[in-house]
Amino acid sequence: MNPGKFNSYLSLIYLVLFFLFSCQKKEMTYYEKIAFNDIALKNATPEEWRYNKKENFQTFQDFQKLKKIKPAEGKNIIYLQPIGEFNILQKKQIELAKQYLAKYFQLETKILPTLSNTIFPKSAKRIRSNNQEQVLARYILDSVLITRKPKDAVVLMGITEKDLFPRPEWNYVFGLASYENGVGVTSMFRFYDGNLTESNFNKSLERLLKISSHEIGHMFGISHCLNANCVMNGTNNLTETDSHFARACSLCQQKLNSTLKYDNQKRLIELRDFFEKQNLNREFSRAETDLKFLK
């Protein structure tokens, strides 16, 4: 073969290789794939959280720069602290919340022995006009939970059957969390209409799963989500909570995973199986859609 012909063959091979290389699509990340299943937020109505509270969008870079709580060797367990007098159905919901949170955060989750409501002094309570007793959420964080946080706990979350209020001027709050101390509290009180029964069990369970994973999400440094419909959206009332997904959006999942470093696909399959077993059908089909986008 003459050198001229050889060179033109070589150029042809380079050209083919160049085309092959440039035509090869970069494999999408897990988050880019499941982002196809993110649903855009609608404009907030005056009753909704985003209408009055102007919060900043926390980007992934903002989140990475944050000084925040992370699990470490010997300090990586999520603890739940029930406070109050719970009936069988309420105890069943706490047990299911434990199972769910273990899958959601991919961390071992344990329930501590129940504390009595007598732990709340008079100064930490108030009576509303309907004779309903409420407990100051901040008191639970500062005076009940911080001192009881087990040595191997990464976060500790109280669960109470009493209604909570965060400040005198507020009517109530579903939950409250501290970014610095890794403690938080969720109240079951408003998740069922006065009485937890077999017929409102699943609806209130879904609310408990959303609010408890939301509060622990805060403890791991995730701010209210403005990216898409997401469990980390701020909420003012139950209608708003019900309209939010239990599914964290792709951005919030990316934030969570950058701290907790779990296997995304394993987590998704475990959550899907949980939703299926508990007949939480909308969340089950959302997880199924996520899995389809991964294929």
Nearest approach, Cβ of 270 to Zn ion (angstroms)? 20
Sheet of 133-136, strand order: 125-127, 133-136, 163-165
* Closer residue to Zn ion in complex, CB, 90/178: 178
What six digits make up the tokens of 92?
Answer: 């069943």
Binding-residue total with Zn ion (CB under 5 A)? 6
287-291, long-range: CB < 8 A, 24+ apart: 287/247, 289/37, 290/34, 290/37, 290/247
Contact 155, 220 (CB under 8 A): yes
> Binding to Zn ion by residue 225, rule CB under 5 A?
yes
Nearest approach, Cβ of 78 to Zn ion (angstroms)? 17
> Of the listed pieces 1-9, 161-169, 200-208, 220-228, which binds Zn ion according to CB under 5 A?
220-228
Task: Round to whole Å and give the CA distance between 35 and 38.
Answer: 5
* Closer residue to Zn ion in complex, CB, 34/80: 34
Interface with Zn ion (CB under 5 A), residue from 173, 230, 256, 271: 230
* Closer residue to Zn ion in complex, CB, 159/232: 232
Closest among 277, 220, 238 to 248, alpha carbons compared: 220
Find where tokens 């898409």 sit.
Answer: 228
Note if 48 is an active site residue. Answer: no
In the region spanning residues 232 to 271, those forming contacts with Zn ion, defined by CB under 5 A, are 232, 249, 252
Nearest approach, Cβ of 175 to Zn ion (angstroms)? 7
Site map for Zn ion, 174-213, x if CB under 5 A?
Answer: ----------------------------------------
Task: Round to whole Å and give the CA distance between 253 and 31.
Answer: 8
| Active-site position among 215, 270, 283, 288 | 215
Contact 267, 291 (CB under 8 A): no
Nearest approach, Cβ of 25 to Zn ion (angstroms)? 26
What six digits make up the tokens of 146?
Answer: 């911080």
What six digits make up the tokens of 243?
Answer: 């309209």
Nearest approach, Cβ of 225 to Zn ion (angstroms)? 3
Active site residues: 215
Residues lying near Zn ion in the complex (CB under 5 A): 225, 227, 230, 232, 249, 252
